[in-house]
Amino acid sequence: MPENEAVLSFLEARRSVMVRDMVEPGPDAASLDRILKVATRVPDHGKLTPWRIKILHRAGQEALGARLGEIFKRDYPAANENKIAVEAERMTRAPLVLAVVSTPDVNHPKIPVQEQLLSAGLVCYNILCAALAMGYAAQWITEWPAYSPDVVAHLGHNPETDRIVGFVYLGTAREQPTERPRPAVEDVARVWEG
């Protein structure tokens, strides 16, 4: 079977860019369309598409940020105004944010919710890889908003069943990231024979 050396080399060197190191520009409309097409080419048992992607340009980022500030103030009444302002600006740290929400069919007779959740995680990973391959900066982050039922509901989803699997921040790298330590294969992979 022929190898695709360029793809393997990319995956061997793939490195997220910290959101604090992102600047304008983010992906233009054509680039975003391509990123989203790649994002949806993931394993999806039963073709359920058990995920949705919210595209947050500046207006969406600010609207979600305002809600984050309200939630944080409610949940942490002792927080000072500076901390609340930081939380309200959380989504505006990069030119574009994609929120990926797992929307499983919890009553499906054959396909477990876990498989559907993993498919949503792969959407985040494909967004990350596609953006990086196109020369953009990208980082997949959860942080507290991903675990907040209020945020899930604010994005128009059911907090009883749906989960935010990630916010993928996209922009341009201020500078290229340095490599970080990776696990040695022999530390994480073993032959198992029963």
Q: What is the mean pLDDT of the chain?
A: 96
163-173 and 137-141 strand pairing: antiparallel
Q: What is the sign of the dihedral through the CA atoms of 76, 82, 88 and 94?
A: negative
pTM of the predicted model as reported, rounded to 2 decimal places: 0.94
Band of pLDDT at residue 96, cut at 50, 70 and 90: very high
Tens digits of residue pLDDT in 4-26:
999 999 999 999 999 999 999 99
For range 164-169, the mean pLDDT:
98
For range 38-46, the mean pLDDT:
97
- CATH number for the domain whose boundaries are 16-57+92-176: 3.40.109.10
Residue 169, pLDDT > 70, answer yes
Q: Are 51 and 117 in contact (CB under 8 A)?
A: no
Q: Are 163 and 101 in contact (CB under 8 A)?
A: yes
Structure tokens given for 87: 């939380």
Residue 54, pLDDT > 90, answer yes
Q: What is the pLDDT of residue 178?
A: 87
Q: Closest Cα to residue 52, out of 139, 149, 163? A: 163
163-173 and 96-102 strand pairing: antiparallel
- DSSP assignment, residue 156? T
Q: What is the pLDDT of residue 176?
A: 87
Q: Are 42 and 127 in contact (CB under 8 A)?
A: no
Tens digits of residue pLDDT in 104-154:
999 999 999 999 999 999 999 999 999 999 999 999 999 999 999 999 999
Q: What does the alpha-carbon distance between residue 96 and residue 56 come to, in Å, rounded to a whole number? A: 6
Q: What is the pLDDT of residue 1?
A: 64
What are the sequence ranges of the domains in the chain?
Answer: 16-57+92-176
- Percent of the chain past pLDDT 90, that is, above it, reads 95
Top-confidence residue, 176 or 27: 27
Residue 68, pLDDT > 90, answer yes
For range 39-66, the mean pLDDT:
98
Q: What does the alpha-carbon distance between residue 49 and residue 55 come to, in Å, rounded to a whole number? A: 17
